[in-house]
Structure 1
Amino acid sequence: MPGGSVSVILATNKDNMVIEGICSDAAHKWWGGRSAAWFLHVQLLFLALAFIWPAYGQQIPPRQFGQHEGLGNMGVTSLVQDGDGYLWAGTENGLYRYDGERFHRFRTGVPGSVVAALHADQAGQIWVGTTEGLCRIVRHACRQVLTREGRALPMALGQHLAVFGPDQMVVVSGERLWRLTARPAADTWEARPFFDNQAGAPPPAIDALLAGGAGELWMGCGARICHYHHGRVEEYGVAHGLPEAPLAWSVMLLDQRGELWCRSRGGHLLSLPAGGARFVERRPAAIRLEALLDPVLAQDRDGRLLVSNNFGLTRGGPGRWETLGSKQGLAADDEISALLVDREGDLWIGIAGRGLRHWQGYRRWENWTERQGLPSATVWSFLRDRDGTLLVGTGRGLAAMPAHAAGFVTHARSAAVGDVQLGNLAMDHAGGLWAGSFAGALQRRRPGGARFEQVAKLPRILALLVDRSGQLWICCDGGLYVIADPEHDPRPRRVPLDVAGTGGGVVRTACQTAQGALWFLVNREVLRLYDGRWTTVRHGLPGDVRLSFMTCAEQTLWLAAQGEAAVWQARADADVARLSPLAMAMGPLKGQPLSGMLIDRRHWLWLGTDSGVGVWNGSAWRLLNQDSGLVWNDTNQGALYEDQDGSVWIGTANGASHLLHPQSLFEQQPLRLLLDRVSLDGVTLPAARFSVPWTPGALEVRLAALSFHNHDALRYHYRLDGLEQRWNTTEVPQLRYAALPPGKYELQMVAENGATGMRSALVTLPFTLAPPWWRTVWFYLAMAVLALALLALAWRWRLNKALRRALELEVLVRERTRELEASREQHRLRALTDSLTQAWNRAAITDLISRQIAAAAGGQPFLVVLLDLDHFKRINDTHGHLAGDAVLKEFVARTRQNLRDADALGRYGGEEFLLLLPGLDAVTGHKRLSQLHLAVCAAPFPIEAGLSIAVTCSFGVTAGRAGASAEELIGQADVALYRAKEKGRNRIEYN
């Protein structure tokens, strides 16, 4: 639609199908002049179309496995998990096993390289079918299975292996069915034709094989489906609901209810209900299942079917299908070649030619980004509307997900909100919706209204709170405001905060406890409003703790401060005069910058950080990050929200995550530690007690902790009893001891996951190294003879002593030389740094900029920033030059705290400083500079004991370019700085 923008309106029907409508900005203007009733009529019209479009699925977490992770071939053909928990991947060129750390190729005994099928039997052992034969994995080798005549059993790609009972397997080889029977005495298996001496004629060429109940098989027999039971074969055809067209039924599945599902290469999807006699067409009406050479069919732990198609996956069941394709993170032409639901309920997706993808947190998480309808992936706030719609404040306005829908859309009634960062949402008692932006815009949508209207322009809004009496409290970085009657008088009134010298200050957050007391965090101090009276509550924390976060439970305050190693819980009675907080260690979050706090209905504490979310249930921590299924690790300010059903929404800088079942966080399977491989001097040994002769080679032990969640947080604690007293810790699951002396030992090992809090049982490996030959009696006699011979060499002692002395002198000369070089380097650094601030001096920072210009010839961007303290002369004139020096040093210290290792800061002259930011351009550096500006000049500068002054600063920014000189870039930054001062100072200008 030329000359205008386009917005999308979505809704869902009872089957979770999504419908769309498109509306231009001109149409928005037209509707803006009409009544809300017209708008609702249009919504109903769109709802009438709800049976056309399939539902959107959520974002698939991008955990990809390929050659860098050890998967040497990217053409995955089959997936299976064995009884120990190892994941096996068959490919077009080799078999690979995943131990949680990386894939390792399994070669020993595997016939051929093209893996056609994998299957786990009742004992958890893996069967491997290749185009050249069949084998089963026993310990560290694959033992081939042959016919009575000694011939191999080559297999074609497909569903051709099944368990037929205790010590029996069936396999399709050469389009014939074979029975495999165990011979325990010889620890081998024997293959013979299945239909020898069986009643009924054998079926024609078999395309697929599935084991049903005891002694029951289902087979794809060309265009028919064959059922073997009670020793006979029954064929299903057109009379039983199968299509007339000739098809090949290539994959089958029995679901949790006993219903048989069959998929053809032509795109048909049929099912036979348990106990039924006729197949039913189940192909989704609104989703095409295209013809595929090798379709895949699976079922997840929640009973949903997973069906491959030519654009990704179709998931669900009759009447509730949804598509998972390019909108959810799969490529538009991804060909799904294998599916596996592992023992933890996660989904593994094999993609032909593109490796393997692990859908982390498959059952537990839903993730949403711009692909699923969010106007911006930066998510700041959540609120559930009274009609069940979930509202989301993003970096570009408001998004909504109607009740029972499966995707987000730009909120149809948020035209007045605009593309702003909506950091706060609240609903008053009358049903009015309030939105606050970081730009200070306070907006309202009246109860039942159609659009938002701007109520006031305030300082940056940090939090909104509707208390029990219905008042709306607005926390800003320039004070506190209140609307006593949001429904009838929406004008905010500034609340004077002069309690204990807090002034207006920064009001960071507010909450209300069960007794009705309102609590506010103002200038890092705790204020309470109860019964119309304001008091400052001395928090009683140890040391000079400057609080940054606060949240309320029924009778409890939770407090936190940036940079501290603990959070505090304090009882908050209405008449309390002093808090007595109880400190609690932050576990895996220690040292992480906090971004938000939440107390849920379970009284669990949730802490958002830039590296994930920590959850405390009163006794243990859990860390949630991208390895757990979170869409992004960097969570946003205050973007933690508990929904009505107890699930939790988390806003990040790259999307929104929905934790469906928080209670399952502390119900994980026990962590199991396995000895994957034990070798001594390169020779593989049993992973159990052993005794071997001594060798000078190294003992190597490879460990495996087969939990695929938060694997990077695994730590291995170990010690070798008989050699070590203390425990060692390593992040690498590989232990190595070189040249152990003879003796008896016990290797003790424990695995611990710092993110999940799980710890394995103690695993031990006892072993003995027998003494070597040179510790025998005859060897000692030989050594006595050798000692007599050594006396003849005594004359060389003086010569050796002289040589050692010469060597010592040489070492002393080298050490003295290094000291002189170190001293020279210290003098050089003093010549390049400013004596007052210890930043680079003018010559040094100019030289660094020149070097960066030379490096920019390779295309690397960078920014040059000229920083100036506003009205610095007033500080010197009013408070003296010592105060001015203190401000300059504090300015440099704050700036350095917020710089990266590659950034450089130098004093250009007086109160002017130059900042070099490699790797950033004007777009990517905007947020970075805004954060730096706020961090440096937001708080007052201390100048002497008990006295501080407010100082602002201005930034002039220019983007570096190759070919320019340092003086030119500094001049351009100076022009931008001059413009910042003309515009009122305390701002950032770009040139």
Structure 2
Amino acid sequence: MPRHPEKTGRRRSHLRCGAVLRVAPILCAAFLTITATLPLQAQTIATTLHDASSGLTNTSVLSAIQLPAGQILATTQEGFFFFDGRQFLPLGPAQGLPPGAPGAAAALTSRGDLILVYADMIYVAHDLATAGSPDRLHFVRVDTGDLLSHDSYRKIEPWRDGLVITEHDHLLFVHPDGTGERIDRLATILSLKEDFLRDVSALHADGDTLWIGTGDGHLCALGKQPPHCPSLPPLAAPRRMEAIVQDHHGTLYARTLHEFVTVPPAPTPATVEKIPHAEGQYENYQHFLTMSWSPAGKLVTQTDDGQLAVLAGGEWKIRSLDGEQSTSPLSTLLFDRQGALWIGRMGFGLARTRGFAVFETFGRRNGLAGDVIWQVIRQPGGPLWITTDTGISALDTHSDTVLRTIPHAAFFIAADHHGCIWHDGPDGVSRHDLLTDWQRDYPIKRINQILPGLADDLWLLSDQGAWLADTARRDQPPAQVPGLSGSYSTGFIDAAGTLWLLEGRHLLARHRDGSQAVVLRTWPLPTFVPYLIKARNDHQLWIAGHGGLYRLTHAGDRVTSLKFYGPTETGNNTLYNLLIDRRNRVWTGSSHGLSVFDGQRWTTITEADGLASNDLDQDSLLEDADGSLWIGTSRGLSHLVQPDDALRDMPLQPVITAMTLGEHPYHGEKVRYSRAPLHVTFGTLDYRDAPRIHFRYRLEGADDGWNETGDGSVRYPSMPPGTHRFLLMAYDPGRNQHSAIISARVEMAYPWWERWPVLLLATLFFLLAGYMVWRIRVGLLIKQRRKLQEIVHRQTEEIRSAHQALIRQARLDSLTGLLNRGAIQTHLQACLAEQSAEVPLAAGLVDVDHFKQINDGWGHLAGDEVLTEIGRILRRELRPEEAAGRYGGEEFLVVLTGQEPAGDRMRTLCRFLNWPLSPDRPSGQHVTVSAGVAEARPGETWQSLIGRADKALYRAKAEGRDRVIEAP
């Protein structure tokens, strides 16, 4: 969230404290003495709780294991449930199990068998690999005779080919006997005295060796002759061993209610230490105590108050779970194959941690001043300083201790090299000496950033200008910088000492010599409003804000390139955080979590990955010296301990969890035709990314293309007959990651009317009916044939005549009856193509003299009469081998062939075209024409021929009209 909503257009949901304690140095020293070295409560682990709303109808979870396909199998006081990626589903009578019977534990044997142990029953399933989903398993009850009493809190351990089970005063061993499973006393199989295996409280298998822990505090190894029990130091009461684990070096670890026992390989002696914060909560629940190794080699066990103790590098750290605080005991600890820790919470359900060992979370419940984290800085050689809405906390990250809390609400904070911190407040900027508790206040208000320089300089950027402080001089207050009197929202100092500033939407550069320049006044995106600026190197800046992110490359004060990353890449339209880490990765934060750019692709990190909140606070990212990241959110401070682990992709594992046809389960078998709806449910076994995952699906024969959904189910009104596949693919838009396509077979019989015998009979029937209809119609057609032939012949002749008329009409000029321009040109081209040396060919252009005067003086109808008469005369006087056409307006083209000279022949024709206008028009005006004629040359084109005739016509008009000119 932004610090100043009036600048970003977004309302702040958290207000600064109205009354901020301002104390004199003496009072401040007293306060800091009181608040110094406050122990930090256990760090918080983010979890997702699965309870009744997730299908876990009984929330008293006793144990959990992960099946080979990836599903989580939980044991409860009312039976067994498995998690399919979407919800928990019960195992019961459909799988051959008793309904609602109290469960005790479940285990997978080395043969791949799944054994479910109830309070007084044992069931085995053998076909895990072929079943696909646990709901398709079939369990068989093991005949226990009178060996198994009623006990809901048994310890079990897979060993050799079977399973070891604790009984009240002995151990039982379930193992295959060739025809099924049988149960025997373990003492009988190992040829041991029964007394040796009394009161066994913990089990651990190491190859062929079985370690047992007893109620009186002994550890012994079975499977070898004779049993071996290493010497242990004295244990505090109660000495009952409740859990045993082993590392890859062979060191054995065990725990009692209060103590932790380490048994290295001989001859190193065993040691005992107190487990921190393990007092009396589990006195009545010792059977729940367990230990589990994380993928990173950390040992996790329970402590009081519903917390965890984590042993790493010989040091214990306490972790608490988020959500509702409760003293309910933790009953099981399971790390899945993705590294997430599943925790049974009695009465609450099964919780899955988010980002275990990748993220740590701190907040008010952990000892910080508040949950709304505004800025985080690292004091040189010292603790983290964290500003919140209700105070400033100093956190020693090595000991998880809050060293002190200053009750000043603040947004901005910085540390100098002289042991002082600087922070803002409602009355200005305060400077604290952390050693002497000396304090000085400066009335500089509307601060937007406190920016340390490269040496002893410290910049204060505000809405009223920029101030510069010399941190080595306590007697000298910050001075306003000449020439920097604008409103500066943020700044950054690069390695060359250049101060880059954002003034409104302008980007400014102030160099070490005091010179400054406006580097950029406008942005390519008109609506972009810059908020933050960071530099990757001396020539590259990154600017984040409302609208997206820009990468700016510059040469001094000149911008050489700008590249824009919009909401599609960054995950949100408005970015409040920006960080370039030492590996040149770009981190941006918004109200939708973190987005990371490694130079090739963007990756999104959200609450699903362990982030305290998706709502990040403005400019609250810090990279620590060890490469980890501190992230301020509106619900606490997140510590990204392992950024690489958070960015690492995990294979997406979509699963089709169930299909139903109508109201009946469907498993891909061929079914009779029906119109019942097909309902398919699916999910993913990639539990970390499940909240972000979408699905693409397609049913062959029903869908033309891929469909998309964020839900885990789809319903088809009916299933198409035939054999088809339901195809499913998962994809994570936050990581641009796709899974492989999985499929399920669906097969439905065709309806009886679509089966081949029915179709064959129907085909024969329609063929016979068609033949009879054909015979009847043939007779009618024969009778009609002759009549139709007569009609067709008559109509054909009519059409032919009409066609010829249309051809003539298309070729003739409607006014003169001569060929139109296109037709006479075509005729001339044909004559030129067929021209021979024996038969001369000529073209003449004839133009009516003074035709405009006729139109103007006598009217257009008189002009039309002249053209009509010319057409009539030419049609009458032309020889059969000659042709004429209207070339345009009052101009005519005449094509002449024959032995008579072309000029003489044209003069003869022109004499016929000289006549007086109608006698009833007493002007005495005559119609005369001018003509130009040209004889065709060998190989000449029609354009050239007409061009020469046109020039001759022009000469005839120029020489007085009423004459014929021959072209040279």
| Fold in common (TM above 0.5) | yes
Task: Report the equivalent of 1:834.
Answer: none
Q: Aligned AA for 1:493?
A: A
Contact 1:287 1:323 in 2 (8 A): no
Partner residue in 2 for 1:336: 330
Report the aligned-residue RMSD.
3.7
Q: Which of 362, 365, 369 is 1:371 aligned to? A: 365
1:695 equivalent to 2:681? Answer no
Residue pair 2:190, 2:223 contacting (<8 A) in 1 also: no
Task: Compare relative contact order (CA 8 Å, sep 6+) and give the higher one, 1 or 2.
Answer: 2
Give yes or no for the alignment of 1:747 onto 2:708.
no
Q: 1:359 to 1:33 in 2, by over 3 A?
A: closer
Amino acid paired to 2:187 = F
Q: Is the 8 A contact 2:605 2:646 kept in 1?
A: no
- State the 1:285 CA deviation: 6.8
Deviations along 1:871-909, one digit per CA (max 9) or x if unpaired, are xxxxxxxxxxxxxxxxxxxxxxxxxxxxxxxxxxxxxxx
Normalising by structure 1, we get a TM-score of 0.67
C-alpha distance in 1 between matches for 2:300 and 2:149: 28
- Counterpart pick for 1:129 among 117, 124, 130: 117
- From the superposition, tell whether residues 233 and 786 of structure 1 become closer, same or farther in structure 2 (CA, over 3 Å): farther
Amino acid at match of 1:333: T
The equivalent of 1:281 in structure 2 is 272
Cα distance in 2 for residues equivalent to 1:245 and 1:31: 50
Residues 254/567 of structure 1: CA separation in 2 closer, same or farther (3 Å cut): same
CA contact (8 A) 1:375 1:410 kept: no
Q: Which residue of 1 aligns with 2:203?
A: 210
The match for 1:724 is: 703
CA distance 1:242–1:459, shift in 2 (3 Å): closer
Q: Is the 8 A contact 2:595 2:604 kept in 1?
A: yes
Q: Structure 2 CA distance, aligned partners of 1:378 and 1:334?
A: 28
1:491 pairs with 477, 481, 490, which one? 477
Q: Which amino acid aligns with 2:181?
A: W
**1:526 CA displacement:** 0.8
| 1:452-491 matches, cutoff 5 A | 452-454=439-441, 456-468=442-454, 470-483=456-469, 487-488=473-474, 490-491=476-477
* Structure-to-structure mapping, 1:926-941, within 5 angstroms: none
Q: What secondary structure does 2:338 align onto?
A: coil
Q: For the residues of structure 1 that align with 2:703 and 2:303, how far apart are their CA atoms?
A: 57
**SS of the residue 1:393 aligns to:** strand
Over residues 514-537 of structure 1, what are the superposed CA-to-partner deviations in whole Å (9 max), with x where a residue is unaligned?
443221111121111124222112
Q: How much does 1:131 deviate?
A: 0.9
CA–CA distance in structure 2, aligned partners of residues 123 and 431 of structure 1? 64
Matches within 5 A, 1:761-910: 761-776=740-755, 779=758
The answer to whether structure 1 residue 70 and structure 2 residue 55 are counterparts is yes
Closer, same or farther: CA 426–205 of 1 in aligned 2, 3 Å: same
CA distance in 1, matches of 2:621, 2:25: 37
Distance 1:245-1:543 versus aligned 2 partners, 3 A rule: closer
Give the counterpart letter for 1:273 in structure 2: P
SS of structure 2 residue aligned to 1:374: coil
1:272 to 255, 258, 263: 263
Matched ranges for 1:346-425 at <5 A: 346-411=340-405, 414=406, 418-420=407-409, 422-425=410-413
- In 2, distance between residues paired with 1:176 and 1:35? 64
Q: 1:120 to 1:481 in 2, by over 3 A?
A: farther
CA distance in 2, matches of 1:196, 1:175: 14
Does the Cα contact within 8 Å between 2:75 and 2:81 map onto a contact in 1? Answer: yes
Work out which of the residue numbers 556, 561, 577 in structure 1 matches 2:545: 561
Residue ranges of structure 1 left out of the alignment (5+ in a row): 1-24, 499-503, 788-991
Residue 161 (structure 1) aligned with residue 143 (structure 2): no
Question: Could you list the per-position Cα deviations for residues 887-935 of structure 1 after superposition, in whole angstroms to 9, with x for gaps in the alignment?
Answer: xxxxxxxxxxxxxxxxxxxxxxxxxxxxxxxxxxxxxxxxxxxxxxxxx
Letter in 1 for 2:360: E
> Which residue is equivalent to 2:107?
119
Asked if structure 2 preserves the Cα contact closer than 8 Å seen for 1:295 and 1:309, the reply is no
Query: What is the alpha-carbon distance in structure 1 between the residues aligned to residue 218 and residue 28 of structure 2?
Result: 63
Instruction: Indicate conservation of the 8 Å contact 1:596/1:607, yes or no.
Output: yes
CA spacing shift, 1:750–1:776, aligned 2, 3 Å: closer
- Once the two structures are superposed, residues 102-125 of structure 1 have per-residue CA deviations (whole angstroms, 9 ceiling, x without a partner) of 222222333452111122344776
Shift of 1:403: 4.9
Distance 1:67 1:447, change over 3 A: closer
Deviation of 1:29 after TM superposition, in Å, equals 7.7
Q: Which moved more, 1:313-322 or 1:357-366?
A: 313-322
Distance 1:441 1:523 in 2: 22
| Residue aligning to 2:44 | 59
Please give the per-residue CA displacement for 1:97-146, whole angstroms capped at 9, x wherever unaligned: 22232222222333452111122344776432111312245433555455
Alignment of 1:545 with 2:537, yes or no, is no
**Contact (CA 8 Å) 2:65, 2:107: kept in 1 or not?**
yes
Q: Does residue 669 of structure 1 match 2:653?
A: no
**Structure showing greater Rg:** 2
Residue 321, structure 1, aligned to residue 321, structure 2: no
In structure 2, what is the equivalent of residue 434 of structure 1?
A: 422
Instruction: Judge conservation of contact 1:463–1:475 (CA < 8 Å) in 2.
Output: yes
Give the share of equivalent positions with the same residue, in percent.
Answer: 23
Structure 1 counterpart of 2:458, one-letter code: L
Residues 474/492 of structure 1: CA separation in 2 closer, same or farther (3 Å cut): same
Q: Distance in 2 between matches of 1:121 and 1:505?
A: 73
How far apart, CA to CA, are the structure 2 residues paired with 1:646 and 1:114? 49
Say if 1:552 and 1:599, in contact at 8 Å, map to a contact too. Answer: yes
CA distance in 1 between counterparts of 2:302 and 2:510 reads: 59
Tell me the CA shift for residue 271 of structure 1: 3.4
Q: Which is worse superposed, 667-676 or 275-284? A: 275-284
Q: Deviations over 1:781-803 (max 9, x none)?
A: 9989999xxxxxxxxxxxxxxxx
Q: Is 608-617 or 770-779 further displaced after alignment?
A: 770-779
The residue type equivalent to 2:192 in the other structure is G
Cα distance in 2 for partners of 1:244, 1:404 equals: 30
In structure 2, the partner of 1:200 is 192
Shift of 1:748: 2.3
**1:181 is the counterpart of 2:162:** no
SS at match of 2:646: helix
SS at match of 2:365: helix
For the Cα contact (< 8 Å) 1:435–1:444, is it kept in 2? yes
How many angstroms apart in 2 are the aligned matches of 1:776 and 1:142? 35
Query: In the aligned structure 2, how far is the partner of 1:247 from the partner of 1:616?
Result: 54
- Contact between 1:349 and 1:356, CA under 8 Å: does it hold in 2? yes
Cα distance, 1:677–1:616 mapped onto 2, change above 3 Å: same
Report deviation, 1:469: 5.0
Q: Distance in 1 between matches of 2:275 and 2:239?
A: 19
Q: Is the 8 A contact 1:349 1:358 kept in 2?
A: yes
Judge which range, 521-530 or 771-780, deviates more.
Answer: 771-780
Q: Which residue of 2 aligns with 1:261?
A: 253
1:535 aligns with one of 501, 517, 526: 517
Question: For the Cα contact (< 8 Å) 1:595–1:607, is it kept in 2?
Answer: yes
**Residues in 2 aligned to 1:569 and 1:698: alpha-carbon distance in whole angstroms:** 53
Instruction: Report the Cα offset of residue 616 of structure 1.
Output: 1.9
Residue 268 (structure 1) shift: 4.6
Query: In the comparison of the two structures, how many residue pairs are matched?
Result: 730
Summarize the Cα distance change of 1:307–1:630 in structure 2 as closer, same or farther, 3 Å threshold.
same
Unaligned runs of 5+ residues in structure 2 are: 1-19, 767-968
Distance 2:598 2:753 in 1: 60
Cα distance in structure 2, aligned partners of 1:655 and 1:30: 30
Q: Does 2:499 correspond to 1:518?
A: yes
Distance in 2 of aligned mates of 1:142 and 1:746: 23
TM-score, normalised via structure 2 length: 0.69
Q: Following the alignment from structure 2 to structure 1, what is the Cα–Cα distance between the partners of residues 515 and 651?
A: 52
Does the CA contact (< 8 Å) of 2:373 and 2:387 recur in 1? yes
- 2: distance between equivalents of 1:389 and 1:205? 53
- What's the offset of the Cα at 1:315? 1.0
Q: What is the match of residue 824 of structure 2?
A: none
Residues 671 and 760, structure 1, Cα contact 8 Å, conserved in 2: yes
